[in-house]
Amino acid sequence: MKNFFSLLLALMFSCTFTVCAFAAEPYAENSNPPTLQDTLQEILDNPTYSNAYKEAAKKKCDYLMSVRDSGPSALTRASNSMTIYVPHTRQPNGVSCGPSTVRQTLAHYGLVKNLSTIMSEMSDASKPATYCYSPTNGIFEISKMFYYINTSLYGEGGDPTGVVYMALWKNGAYTSSQQMLNMMASVISNNNPPILHTGAIQGTKRTSYNDTSKWPINISSGHFMSVSGYNLSNATIQVTDPDVTNQQSSSSYSSGKYYINSSVVYSTCDYFAA
């Protein structure tokens, strides 16, 4: 009986370190991940998106392609290391990392909205262009989440010079951790925080804040967070994670920020948006 209760307590404890957030993939399980051009075409073919938004997406696609294969020394306006302002939002439950990351992103650009408002607006089925969130299952259509960011900042008409996020899928838009780091560092150097989505992260929780070879979280499914900095000398990125303060009591994580090696990010993420 004692062993039974010990096992039960262990299971209960492990569950507190598990977060689930669903994000639908726009391609079949056995097909190739979308290229950046595929993602752009999906935006261009969507009749609910404004022409201004589509024009901005074209420019973003061209820019990302131009920096994908650049070496770190050739990154436009990128210094060796850099962080940008991304205020932390602590997610209230296991399926709210998407809206929490959206709130972090909007706050970076100067628009502070209540998390409850963001959740309500993203789960409003009467607005099909931005209907992308379920309070029980999380984000179910990422392109609409990104469109929500743009329209929140610029209104329904969009802005061809404004902020546009596009999904960049691993093994589609980029095929190495270096290409991923090149694009992340480039957009950060232009004061735009990427949005990172990881798959499951289990059994690797770090014991030291400075151990960038491991994640400090355990995730049973997908998870969203912001990317708020980079260091090219040691190939790390800084993330602002809505969940880390739920899982780590150390004061080192109180800002929601920590560094992680880009190769570790590459191995666990399925896409990021920039």
Q: What is the pLDDT of residue 228?
A: 98
pLDDT computed for residue 8 by the predictor: 39
Q: What is the pLDDT of residues 141-154, one digit of tens each?
A: 999 999 999 999 99
Paired strand residues for 219: 19, 201
pLDDT in tens, 74-84: 554 457 899 99
How far apart are alpha carbons 84 and 189 in whole angstroms? 8
Fold of 36-273: Cathepsin B; Chain A (3.90.70)
Residue 110 has pLDDT above 70, yes or no: yes
The amino acid at 68: R
For tokens 């960038």, the residue is 212
Considering only CA atoms, which of 41, 31, 33 is closest in space to residue 61?
A: 41
pLDDT reading at 190 higher than 60: yes
Evaluate if residue 15 carries a pLDDT over 50.
no
Q: What is the mean pLDDT of residues 73-95?
A: 83
pLDDT at 78: 52
Q: What is the pLDDT of residue 71?
A: 57
Say yes or no to pLDDT of 109 above 60: yes
Residue 25 has a pLDDT of 47
- In this structure, what token pair is assigned to residue 135? 């309070």
Distance, CA of 122 to CA of 88 (rounded, Å):
20
Domain ranges of the chain: 36-273
Residues 231-244: pLDDT tens digits?
Answer: 999 999 999 999 99
What are 9's two structure tokens? 């307590």
